[in-house]
């Protein structure tokens, strides 16, 4: 955290929101540690053993999505599904232009370096759960991408027009031509290896901000399209073995893969003006997409 000459902490907007949100629910924010500042800003409260996720409140539909993530994970935990556990407080909490959600800290949580077969098994189990006893938001394939394009401060006019045209092209195919082979229902919405952690002696699925109702194929695409990020064929085969289905053999797989690739741009589109690495990677991915090649992409 930045310090003034007198030693007083200079609060960032996210840190100010964290402290206000914690006061509202009676949690001690002293010594809060920043864990991640990416699509969401994530803090650990050492005094409470709680993780706080902060998301900008102005994004359309975000309140509904966060409310759903808390409600769904409570339901999943009650059904003994290994999901990260929300704190028993009324949430999300609005504070200083952010929405805060509160989660139990899994003490020994560590990101899983492989585990793709395990991820496949967990997604199979998730998709086989009973019907959720409340309404879920319908998965929105293109809204988040279009909103990120609209607010981006780093796109050229030409790149902006190309992205919007590409969204329109894929949207027409998705809604008018794609015939799904799996069932429709509860999906995680962002199921990739980075959202699988090992904690308490078991694997736990986290980051449920995109949970929704949609075609189950959508949960398989992040891993099976992961060749872009260096996931080898062997590990993707293990994922298929765990889930029991290889989505790459489905005729419409390339459509959903291309949709997912557009969706990976959203954070860089929103943050590229203040994050040089995000801006550089955004330019690299856009060049790759426009060239139609399969070059490997990089995390940022």
Class of the CATH-defined domain 15-104: alpha beta
208, 188 contact by CB (below 8 A): yes
SS (H, E, C) the chain: CCECCCCCECCCHHHHHHHHHHHHHCCCCCCCEEEEECCCEEEEECCCCEEEEEEECCCCCHHHHHHHHHHHHHHHHHCCCCECCECCCCCCEEECCEEEEEEECCCCCEECCCCHHHHHHHHHHHHCCCCCCCCCCECCCCHHHHHHHHHCCCCCHHHHHHHHHHHHHHHHHHHHCCCCCCCEEEECCCCCHHHEEEECCEEEECCCCCCEEEEHHHHCHHHHCHHHHCCCHHHHHHHHHHHCCCHHHCCCHHHHHHHHHHHCCHHHHHHCCCCHHHHHHHHHHHHHHHHCCCCCCCCC
Q: Is the pLDDT confidence value at 5 over 50? A: no
CATH topology of domain 116-291: Aminoglycoside 3'-phosphotransferase; Chain: A, domain 2 (3.90.1200)
Domain ranges (residues) in the chain: 15-104, 116-291
Q: Which of 112-116, 195-199, 203-207, 265-269 has the lowest mean pLDDT?
A: 112-116
Strand partners, 212: 187
Tokens of 288: 């790759």
Mean pLDDT of the chain: 92
| Structure confidence at residue 61 (pLDDT) | 87
Q: What is the pLDDT of residues 179-191, one digit of tens each?
A: 999 999 999 999 9
- Average of pLDDT values for 104-112? 69
Q: Is the pLDDT confidence value at 107 over 80? A: no
| Structure confidence at residue 134 (pLDDT) | 95
CB within 8 A of 189, min separation 6: which ones?
Answer: 139, 208, 209, 210, 211, 212, 214, 218, 219
Q: What is the pLDDT of residues 207-245, one digit of tens each?
A: 999 999 999 999 999 999 998 999 999 999 999 999 999
Q: Model's pTM, two decimal places?
A: 0.91
């Amino acid at each position: 955290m930045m310090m003034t000459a007198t030693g007083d902490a200079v609060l960032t907007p996210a840190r100010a929101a964290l402290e206000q949100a914690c006061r509202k629910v009676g949690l001690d924010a002293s010594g809060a540690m920043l864990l991640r500042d990416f699509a969401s800003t994530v803090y650990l409260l050492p005094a409470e053993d709680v993780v706080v996720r902060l998301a900008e409140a102005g994004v359309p539909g975000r309140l509904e999505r966060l409310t759903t993530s808390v409600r769904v994970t409570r339901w999943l935990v009650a059904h003994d599904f290994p999901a990260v556990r929300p704190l028993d407080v009324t949430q999300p909490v609005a504070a200083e232009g952010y929405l805060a959600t509160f989660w139990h800290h899994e003490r020994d949580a560590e990101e899983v370096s492989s585990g793709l077969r395990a991820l496949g098994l967990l997604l199979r189990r998730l998709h086989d759960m009973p019907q959720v006893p409340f309404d879920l938001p319908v998965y929105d394939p293109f809204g988040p991408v279009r909103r990120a394009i609209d607010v981006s401060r780093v796109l050229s006019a030409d790149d902006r027009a190309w992205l919007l045209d590409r969204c329109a092209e894929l949207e027409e195919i998705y809604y008018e031509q794609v015939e799904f082979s799996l069932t429709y229902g509860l999906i995680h919405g962002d199921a990739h290896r980075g959202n699988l952690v090992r904690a308490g002696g078991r694997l736990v699925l986290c980051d449920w901000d995109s949970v929704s109702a949609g075609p189950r194929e959508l949960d398989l695409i992040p891993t099976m399209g992961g060749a872009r990020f260096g996931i080898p064929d062997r590990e993707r085969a293990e994922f298929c073995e765990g889930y029991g289905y290889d989505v790459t053999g489905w005729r419409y797989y390339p459509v959903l893969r291309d949709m997912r690739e557009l969706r990976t741009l959203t954070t860089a589109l929103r943050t590229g003006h203040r994050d040089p690495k995000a801006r550089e990677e955004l330019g690299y991915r856009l060049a790759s997409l426009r060239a139609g090649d399969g070059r490997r992409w990089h995390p940022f």
